[in-house]
Amino acid sequence: MFALQDTRGAVEIAFTDRHGGVSGGPYASLNLAHSDGDDPDTVEENLDIAAYAFARGWEASGSNPFVFPSGTPWPRMVATMSQVHGSHVAVLHPVDVESQREQQPPVADALVTKVPGVILMVRAADCLPVLLADVERAVIGAAHAGRRGLVSGIVPSTVETMRGLGAREILAWLGPHVCGRCYEVPTEMRTQVSSVVPESYALTSWGTPALDIGKGVRAQLDFERVSIAGVSRRCTKEDEDLYSYRRQGGESGRLAGMVWIRP
């Protein structure tokens, strides 16, 4: 279920793979987004399974994935967003928690909060999910960084927003994403992106123009003086245990990055 997990103080993070859920067909099995073709109720059940397992700190097991050992903190909510490859960062304040339960997710590509017990979720299927936290000051963030997000600076914007809430020493975790060896793009596109973030310039393993989103985001984090706490080296296009739009097309599910401040 989890491709990468880490705990730092009260902050916990995880990135999912595609196993442990209830979706079938090309979406099997832990699809965490309402992709065209997958059953919405099934996706909602997957979201619950992933959130419960994350809050427990270990994977679902047995016939009841919703069991909680005595004393396990209960998530107040799972905050998602309608991701559009943009540059907007949505901040979740304490007053928003109850109201957002009944509202549509914000149109954004990053979420930031200081509210304990709220799981921030970012979803991806080749783009780079980035989780961030200032452990001491209890400020967390989750960002969705694809090609357009790299150019628009969604990750630096998330860092800036976190600092506006008091964050100082920020750590970052980078989830599974398509690697530079596999992310083939037209020459003009590579030129456009690498003119903004030179570190993203890459070649595929077969020698054609490519982009390396991971290297580009790491360069942006380095410029922002953000330390890398963990990196998944798994390529979504190469690894069939992960979802990949480039490999599966429109029938690809979505994996997720999750971060929370344990209450």
CATH at residue 192: 3.60.140.10
User: Backbone phi, then psi, for 139, in 5-degree steps?
Assistant: -125, 130
> Tell me: the pLDDT tens digits for 128-148?
999 999 999 999 999 999 999
Quote the number of domains for the chain.
1
> Tell me: the pLDDT tens digits for 86-127?
999 999 998 877 666 667 899 999 999 999 999 999 999 999
Q: What is the pLDDT of residue 101?
A: 61
| Domain presence at residue 117 | yes
Per mean pLDDT, which range of 34-43, 189-198, 203-212, 215-224 is the poorest? Answer: 34-43
Q: Which residue has the higher pLDDT, 104 or 60?
A: 104
Mean pLDDT, the chain, integer:
94
User: Rounded CA gap, 250 and 26, in Å?
Assistant: 10
Q: What is the pLDDT of residue 66?
A: 75
Q: What is the pLDDT of residue 8?
A: 97
Q: What is the pLDDT of residue 63?
A: 66
Whether 84 shows a pLDDT value over 70: the answer reads: yes
| Domain presence at residue 13 | no
Whether 158 shows a pLDDT value over 70: the answer reads: yes
- Percent of the residues in the chain that have a pLDDT greater than 70, as a whole number: 96
User: Rounded CA gap, 220 and 225, in Å?
Assistant: 9
> Tell me: the pLDDT tens digits for 160-195?
999 999 999 999 999 999 999 999 999 999 999 999
| Domain presence at residue 27 | no
| Domain presence at residue 23 | no
Q: What is the pLDDT of residue 94?
A: 86
Rounded to an integer, the average pLDDT of 44-49 is 94
pTM of model > 0.85: yes
Q: What is the pLDDT of residue 59?
A: 65
Whether 65 shows a pLDDT value over 80: the answer reads: no
| Domain presence at residue 136 | yes
| Domain presence at residue 174 | yes
Domain that holds residue 201: 77-261
| Domain presence at residue 58 | no
Q: What is the pLDDT of residue 103?
A: 78
| Domain presence at residue 32 | no
Whether 68 shows a pLDDT value over 80: the answer reads: no
